Amino acid sequence: MKHAETLLPRTLAAIVLLISLLMLIPLAKAVIAVIHGKVPILAMWLAPLLILATGLALLMALRRLTPLFLMALALWVITAAYFLVRLVY
């Protein structure tokens, strides 16, 4: 394969990986809250799990780069960013 044909899938996979790693932070906070005897908010652990599952589905569909896939990836990135910003502030 040519370099240009592999650059976009690798870049998209790196973005999915980075966001997936960032989703481990709220999950760790939820686990720490449970360890300390608190009940974590439902969105504190459910939203990161949903974002991770969606990222997995996007990675499986990465072989077929279509405009629909790119729109789904963009929506996924926006949703993950909104969740992280809302969690921090």
pLDDT for the residue 63: 75
Structural domain boundaries, residue 26: 7-88
Residue with tokens 């809302």: 86
Helix then strand then coil, in percent of the chain rounded to 5, is 80, 0, 20
Number of domains in the chain: 1
Specify if 2 maps to a domain: no
pLDDT over 90 at 21, yes or no: no
Specify if 31 maps to a domain: yes
pTM of the shown model: 0.73
- Number of Cα atoms under 13 Å in the Cβ half of residue 76: 27
Structure tokens at 77: 């990135």
**pLDDT tens, 47-69?**
888 888 888 888 888 777 788 88
- Nearest 5 degrees, angle CA 42-CA 86-CA 19? 85
Q: What are phi and psi of 66, to 5 degrees?
A: -125, 165
pLDDT over 80 at 4, yes or no: no
Question: Do 19 and 55 contact (CB within 8 A), yes or no?
Answer: yes
